[in-house]
């Protein structure tokens, strides 16, 4: 027993060490690539893309389910984006409120007879509508499919552009976001098949008329700590993985894809829990099995702002669902693990996700349990325990501070020094107690998945219209 506890504690320490070293390596890679991206961006003139003939047409697909409070504002925001050839498809996914009526009144929708080929699986479509006042707007009215993936598939079937941009109806894109996210595609249209943009926390910022007027930190602590979390996940994690062409997730709130390739893999898996992760994994598989030379890129500056949960219950539901989505995407692709034919995805990206993301809460709860048992039976070295606590806390805090400083050095969206100081201060609380709460929520997600509990649990949201009204 004593020997087992000793081995377990040292194994847990080595696991934790490897995890933090991996994040440190990602931080170094991200700092270098961000500086290079900023330098390269200075040589571009986004106006050239907007005014020239090079920019290919884009179809934005925005699924909406019971969004009557903010759908008018959201639709206007999408239609006002700076891009030369744009088609906006809003999918009314069986809403039980006035979502469709709000769109009909605002944009004078009329039914149209159009060729609709259901290449990607979705629930039945009840009708297609086009606006008399905004010809770029199409509304797809369908029966509820029970998932965002199902709704996006209906929009994909109606899309007519070579590229589709999938966004959330309750998120807010900056006006030049499409121009910026298309830069990698315009640089290398043959190789770049998908691009992810960065997601930022909208809570606390000033919104007026569907446009972001001033970036501010949220007031609630639970929201501020999510700002730190998002900065670390996007500016470090996704930036670094994309450099090795091993990016495994493009956020469902803002991602650009080649339409023909999404259709080639059958669209989104309609019952996928984490549809964004699942699609990217299947795109990697498809391209690797074809032996294609391709890239899936990440761009850190086209901003999409989204409302994050502001209460513990909603946040816990979201993180449990994310963990279920991770397992739901990894399990069908388990045959890719350590297969030379799948290159870096099979040998590095997927093993990392299994070991340091999916199994992390299990390893952590097991490690904490063995440490407590070792302390109870009197075999835990006080020196080892203190070293473990100090090392783990300090290392993780430095990584979080690094992501905040990277934001301040490169993008500087939080111009008030008080906001920056608050962000840095919250880095000291992220590792404790927030990390332990996060561990519990992720364990709940795994438990729910094994119980086949796939129910989508709603979260409390204020919506874009409420944000606009509160600042007017």
Helix runs in 136-220, H state only: 148-158, 177-181, 183-187
The answer, yes or no, to whether residue 223 has pLDDT greater than 90, is yes
More confident residue, 110 or 389: 110
**Computed from CA positions of residues 430, 431, 436, 438, in that sequence, does the dihedral angle turn out positive or negative?**
positive
- Cβ 83 vs Cβ 54: under 8 Å: no
The 3-class secondary structure across 408-419, one letter per residue, is: HHHCCCCCCHHH
The pLDDT value recorded for residue 49 is 66
How far is 409 from 419, CA to CA, in rounded Å? Answer: 14
Angle between helices 275-290 and 312-330 (to 10 degrees): 20
The pLDDT value recorded for residue 386 is 78
Both tokens assigned to 248: 């495994």
The stretch 115-133 carries a mean pLDDT of: 91
The answer, yes or no, to whether residue 472 has pLDDT greater than 60, is no
- Cβ 106 vs Cβ 75: under 8 Å: yes
Q: Render the burial of 282-318: b for 16+ CB within 10 Å, e for the rest.
A: bbbbbbbeeeeebbbbbbbbbbbbbbbbbeeebbbbb
The pLDDT value recorded for residue 245 is 96
The pLDDT value recorded for residue 468 is 44
Least confident interval from 113-117, 186-190, 277-281, 305-309: 113-117
More confident residue, 381 or 428: 428
Please write the tens of the pLDDT for every residue from 62-109. Answer: 999 988 888 998 999 999 999 999 999 999 999 999 999 999 999 999
Phi-psi region of 81 (alpha: psi -120 to 50; beta: other; left: phi over 0): beta
Angle between helices 71-79 and 463-471 (to 10 degrees): 90
Average pLDDT, the chain: 88
- DSSP 8-state symbol, 466: H
Please write the tens of the pLDDT for every residue from 129-174. Answer: 999 999 999 999 999 988 889 999 999 999 999 999 999 988 899 9
The pLDDT value recorded for residue 55 is 86
The answer, yes or no, to whether residue 301 has pLDDT greater than 80, is yes
- Name the β-bridge partners of 167: 254
Task: Give the CA distances from residue 101 to residues 71, 95, 440, in Å, rounded to whole numbers and listed in that order.
Answer: 10, 10, 41
How far is 107 from 411, CA to CA, in rounded Å? Answer: 36
More confident residue, 114 or 471: 114
The pLDDT value recorded for residue 52 is 63
The stretch 279-303 carries a mean pLDDT of: 93
Least confident interval from 182-186, 260-264, 379-383: 379-383
Q: Where are the beta strands (DSSP E) in 182-232?
A: 192-201, 206-208, 211-214
The stretch 260-278 carries a mean pLDDT of: 92
List domains and CATH numbers for the chain: 26-318 (3.90.550.10)
| Strands 86-93 and 137-142, sheet pairing | parallel
The pLDDT value recorded for residue 471 is 38
The pLDDT value recorded for residue 415 is 78
The pLDDT value recorded for residue 125 is 93
The answer, yes or no, to whether residue 333 has pLDDT greater than 90, is yes
% of the chain beyond a pLDDT of 90: 59
pTM score, whole prediction: 0.91
Phi, psi angles (nearest 5°) of residue 393: -65, -45
**Tokens 């934005």, residue located:** 60
The pLDDT value recorded for residue 469 is 40
How far is 428 from 417, CA to CA, in rounded Å? Answer: 18
The pLDDT value recorded for residue 458 is 65
Q: Which residues contact 387 (CB under 8 A, 6 or more apart)?
A: none
The pLDDT value recorded for residue 45 is 65
DSSP secondary structure letters along 309-364 = P-SHHHHHHHHHHHHHHHHHHHGGGGGGTT-GGGHHIIIIIHHHIIIIIISHHHHH
């Amino acid at each position: 027993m004593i020997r087992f506890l000793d081995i377990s504690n040292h194994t847990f320490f080595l696991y934790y060490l490897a995890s933090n070293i991996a994040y440190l390596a990602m931080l170094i890679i991200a700092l270098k690539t961000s500086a290079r991206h900023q330098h390269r961006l200075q040589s571009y003139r986004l106006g050239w893309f907007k005014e020239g003939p090079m920019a290919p047409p884009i179809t934005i697909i925005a699924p909406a389910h019971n969004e009557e409070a903010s759908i008018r504002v959201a639709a206007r925001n999408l239609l006002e984006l700076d891009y030369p050839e744009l088609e906006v498809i809003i999918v009314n996914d069986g809403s039980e409120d006035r979502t469709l009526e709000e769109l009909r009144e605002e944009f004078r929708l009329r039914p149209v007879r159009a060729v609709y080929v259901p290449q990607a699986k979705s629930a039945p479509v009840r009708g297609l509508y086009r606006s008399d006042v905004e010809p770029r707007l199409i509304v797809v009215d369908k029966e509820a499919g029970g998932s965002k993936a199902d709704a996006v598939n209906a929009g994909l079937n109606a899309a007519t552009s070579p590229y589709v941009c999938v966004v959330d109806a309750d998120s807010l894109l900056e006006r030049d976001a499409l121009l910026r996210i298309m830069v990698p595609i315009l640089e290398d249209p043959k190789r770049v098949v998908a691009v992810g943009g960065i997601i930022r926390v909208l809570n606390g910022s000033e919104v007026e008329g569907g446009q972001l007027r001033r970036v501010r930190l949220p007031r609630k602590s639970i929201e501020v700590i999510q700002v730190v979390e998002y900065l670390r996940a996007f500016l470090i994690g996704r930036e670094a993985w994309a450099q090795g062409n091993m990016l495994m997730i493009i956020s469902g709130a803002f991602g650009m894809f080649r339409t023909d390739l999404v259709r080639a893999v059958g669209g989104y898996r309609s019952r996928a829990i984490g549809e964004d992760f699942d699609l990217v994994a299947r795109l990697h598989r498809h391209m690797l099995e074809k032996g294609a030379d391709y890239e899936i890129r990440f761009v850190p500056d086209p901003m999409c702002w989204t409302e994050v949960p502001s209460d513990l219950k909603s946040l816990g539901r979201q993180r449990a669902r994310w963990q279920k989505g991770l397992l739901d995407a990894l399990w069908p692709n388990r045959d890719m693990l350590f297969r030379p034919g799948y290159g870096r995805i099979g040998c590095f990206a997927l093993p990392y996700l299994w070991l340091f993301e999916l199994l992390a809460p299990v390893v952590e709860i097991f490690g904490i349990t063995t440490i407590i048992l070792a302390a109870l039976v009197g075999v835990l070295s006080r020196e080892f325990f203190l070293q473990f606590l100090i090392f783990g806390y300090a290392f993780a805090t430095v990584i979080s501070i690094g992501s905040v400083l990277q934001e301040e050095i490169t993008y500087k969206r939080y111009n008030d020094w008080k906001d920056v100081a608050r962000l840095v201060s919250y880095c000291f609380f992220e590792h404790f107690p927030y990390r332990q709460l996060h561990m519990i929520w992720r364990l709940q997600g795994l438990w729910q998945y094994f119980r086949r509990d796939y129910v989508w649990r709603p979260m409390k949201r204020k919506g874009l219209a409420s944000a606009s009204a509160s600042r007017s």
